[in-house]
Amino acid sequence: MTEHRIYNFNAGPAALPLPVLEEIQASFLNFKGSGMSLVEVSHRSKWFDDVINDAVVRIKRLLKLDDNFEVLFLQGGASSQFFMIPMNLLPEGRSADYVNTGTWSTKAIKEVELQGKSADVVASSKDRDFCYIPKNVVFNSDAAYVHITTNNTIKGTQWAQMPDTGGVPLVADMSSDILSRPFDPAPFGLFYAGAQKNMGAAGVCVVVIRKDMLERVPENLPSMVKYTTFAAKNSLYNTPPCFAIYTVQLVSKWLEEEIGGIEKMAEINRQKADLLYGFMDSGDFYRGTADADSRSFMNVTFRLPSEDLEKQFIQEALENGFGGLKGHRSVGGCRASIYNPMPLKAVADLVDFMKTFEKKNG
Ligand SMILES: Cc1ncc(COP(=O)(O)O)c(C=O)c1O
């Protein structure tokens, strides 16, 4: 079956490491001698306890999180964090700083405003259609937190470094670059990621929260939207998305045991991005859409000389085993998502295909 698999450049749900898929397949009918599949065992069983506990331990080790941080597995996608964050962490009468770098930040800001709370948009790249990350942003020292989107999946931009917020807790949507590069977790009050891009299968959002932030959670929120509910119960307050958490465990194991950790992963990610951007910059047929200093190492967005050529490129790429190269429906163009599981060889093969396509059509 594996010989029919294509290179999957989708933005999410996205490619998973082949060894992870193989382990799921091999253990599916009889998980760890239980006589049941993982999706049939109780979430209160020893089998599932081992899965969720191992996932937490590995994520903490990979991200170098000390005991000040809790790792939570929540449902409702990264999109639910857009409203849960202000509900839990933004007290009445205070304001939070937001940097608007595209569709996902815009949605996050809207959810604050829907609650009648104040989001101060301290910087935005809307003036140039979100093709860059704002620089030298000045934050309010009395902000309840500062929210950023570390990687902008649609526009293909990424914060090269996390901003200095001068002690105000940083809150970040890392849906499309978590576990792709090392960073210092200390300034973060919370960060979160829908698992379906870089961490596993759709259905779970990983939320990492610093324990002191839990003190802000108002008592009178519904239980299912309070971080404290899940922190008190190891994410097992109600039935969790067991299968998705299992995939996060396996991807974390793959990252530790087969790749050798986040530093090694970041080096491979740099090589992949350098290869693709380097090739695009060597001519003018493929045109990157993000400013060079704001380019994403995860989502490489580009245009061809015409929309007809883009359509033809995406179609012929698929026929040659390269799937998912269509840009997001809101922006058009092309996008190659080269998350952690995408091997360097796949990017090298894509560049070869792009060269051939250009020779024929350039
Ligand atoms: C950066 C970012 N944030 C949030 C989301 C929304 O995630 P979800 O579909 O898990 O709600 C996405 C989805 O593509 C994303 O790329």
Task: State pLDDT tens for residues 31-90.
Answer: 999 999 999 999 999 999 999 999 999 999 999 999 999 999 999 999 999 999 999 999
Tokens of 281: 């910059």
pTM: 0.97
- Under 8 Å CB-to-CB from 69, ≥6 apart: which residues? 60, 185, 208, 209, 210, 211
Measured in Å, residue 205 CA sits from the centre of ligand 1 at: 10
**Residue 151 Cα to chain centre, angstroms:** 7
How far the first Cα of the chain sits from its last, in Å, is 36
Confidence (pLDDT) at 362: 84
Residue nearest to atom 16 of ligand 1 (CA): 153
d(CA 292, CA 186): 28
Task: State pLDDT tens for residues 74-116.
Answer: 999 999 999 999 999 999 999 999 999 999 999 999 999 999 9
> With helix as H, strand as E and coil as C, how does 168-190 read?
CCEEEECCCCCCCCCCCCCCEEE
Q: Tell me which residues have their CB closer than 6 angstroms to ligand 1.
A: 12, 77-79, 104, 149, 153, 173, 175-176, 194
pLDDT band at 179 (very low <50, low <70, confident <90, very high): very high
Confidence (pLDDT) at 176: 98
Q: Confirm whether 173 is a catalytic residue.
A: yes
Give the residue, 164 or 330, on which the prediction is more confident.
164
d(CA 264, CA 259): 7
Confidence (pLDDT) at 4: 83
What Rg, from alpha-carbon coordinates, does the chain have?
Answer: 21
d(CA 79, CA 87): 14
Please pick, among 155, 159, 173, 326, the residue that the annotation labels catalytic: 173
Residue nearest to atom 4 of ligand 1 (CA): 78
Q: How many CB atoms lie within 10 A of CB 246?
A: 26
